[in-house]
């Protein structure tokens, strides 16, 4: 579960914008290190890569946990998988590395 949190902490928007254009996406545009800001400031193709990376950082820990630790199909196995997914989400919202709180999960809930 700790690895799921660390995977969730990876911010592909910051990494890709720095790699492609040498910019810090947190300082330009709407200053949000997310897919839409990368799409506007770096390019739509790179935004698709950011989206894919964000999707993968949630799915890969779940798939690995399911394969490695829960090979049998029992109802008792679903709660640890749920916790693994929640740790990936927590890593995305409150990353360890970038010292920034992301309230995108809260915005999604209240504003859509």
Give the pTM: 0.77
Q: What is the pLDDT of residues 17-56, one digit of tens each?
A: 999 999 999 899 888 888 999 999 999 999 999 999 999 9
Higher pLDDT, 64 or 105: 64
Q: Give the residue among 66, 103, 90, 80 at the shortest CA–CA distance from 7.
A: 90
**pLDDT over threshold 50, residue 15:** yes
| Burial label, 93 (beta-carbon count in 10 A; 0-12, 13-18, 19+) | middle
**pLDDT over threshold 90, residue 60:** yes
């Amino acid at each position: 579960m700790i690895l799921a949190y660390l995977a969730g902490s990876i911010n592909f928007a910051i990494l890709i914008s720095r790699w492609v254009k040498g910019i810090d996406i947190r300082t330009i545009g709407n200053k949000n290190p997310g897919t839409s800001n990368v799409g506007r400031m770096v390019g739509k193709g790179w935004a698709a890569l950011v989206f894919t990376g964000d999707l993968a950082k949630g799915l890969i820990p779940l798939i690995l946990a399911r394969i490695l630790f829960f090979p049998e199909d029992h109802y008792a196995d679903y709660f640890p998988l749920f916790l693994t997914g929640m740790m990936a989400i927590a890593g995305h919202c409150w990353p360890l590395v970038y010292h920034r709180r992301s309230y995108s999960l809260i915005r999604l809930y209240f504003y859509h």
